[in-house]
Amino acid sequence: MSANRTIASPLARHLAEQAGLDISQIAGSGPKGRVIKRDIEAALANPAPAPISAPTSASASAPQPTQSAAIMPPLAAARAYYQPSDYDEKPLDMMRTAIATRLTQSTQQIPHFYLTRALEIDQLMAYRGRINQALADYGEKVSLNDLLVRAAALALMDVPEVNVSFAGDAILQHHHADIGVAVALPDGLITPIVARCDEKSIRVISAEIRDLAARAADKRLKPSEYEGGSFSISNLGMFGIEHFTAVINPPQAAILAVGGPVKHLRLDDEGVPMETTHMRVTLSCDHRAIDGALGAQFLTALADYIENPILLSL
């Protein structure tokens, strides 16, 4: 039976194509002999031996695959390593499927590069303390992340070449800083977008982030509230992470990974030891749209706002 006459499910055909299998040579166990996913997995777990033939002069001279390449199974064969009784299978929901698809596309299609800088945040923490003291009567607080979002928005306005999207035949330079803030949920990660952060106060940004995070947890966000955007921030500092890199969220061209505060000792101008607090941030850039010098300029602008936080309210 030829491949185009074999009865198979779309998923089985897709898995067979990815694994390089001839689906016409696979016996189907589904209704009416239909080839289904478990048949592909069985074929991957028990590959048929290749026919032996005398090598031609061309094949003899062709480079042969290494042993590691020959035994490397495709990703679709993960179940072949385990007994079904040894694991629980949790089907992907729509959110996790979308995350897997988008991040796979991002890592495969976007040439990432990374720039890391340590920011001194003692003044920022003191500034936050004064803001929260002023907001105490209103029952409100702002977080370091709220201040970072505001600082990033202003830095994007100072270095607008980073506030872009790569569109294949053009670079889209955005007029406003629409910043996605990564929110961890029990079944995935979502990045709701705070629009026009360059035009909003810290207090308004803080209130919008709280509202978006709450509605994200309840799965009440509209697609327009988490799709698009011009930049993202992912902060894992509250989990004790000091440094990491983040995957760009297309169609954006950059994302900032933020680590937690760390105490350091340094000498002041008179040689006296003093303790300072630093936070490491890493900018992931799409090299098709942003080069190293531009990324460095953005981090310099960001450092100016973080280390001189009075600028955030001007």
Active-site residues, by number, are 287
Alpha carbons within 13 angstroms on the beta-carbon side of residue 197 total: 35
Give pairs for 100-109: CB < 8 Å, separation 24+: 102/249, 102/250, 103/247, 105/250, 106/247, 106/248, 106/249, 106/250, 107/247, 109/250
Helix (H, G, I), strand (E, B) or coil at 174: coil
Q: Are 14 and 40 in contact (CB under 8 A)?
A: no
Q: Phi/psi at 118 (nearest 5 deg)?
A: -95, 130
Distance CA 42, CA 286 (A): 40
Are the beta carbons of 255 and 286 closer than 8 angstroms? no
Secondary structure of residue 189 in the 3-state scheme: strand
Enter the tokens of residue 147.
Answer: 């201040």
- HSE toward the beta carbon, residue 40, CA cutoff 13 A: 26
- Contact (CB, 8 A) for 303 and 121: no
Neighbours of 254 (CB within 10 A): 27
Estimate to the nearest angstrom the gap between the alpha carbon of 257 and the chain centroid. 10
Q: Which stretches does DSSP call E strand in 75-223?
A: 112-120, 164-166, 171-173, 179-181, 183-185, 188-190, 193-194
Of 285, 303, 292, 258, the residue nearest 163 (C-alpha): 285
Judge contact between 177 and 152, C-beta under 8 A: yes
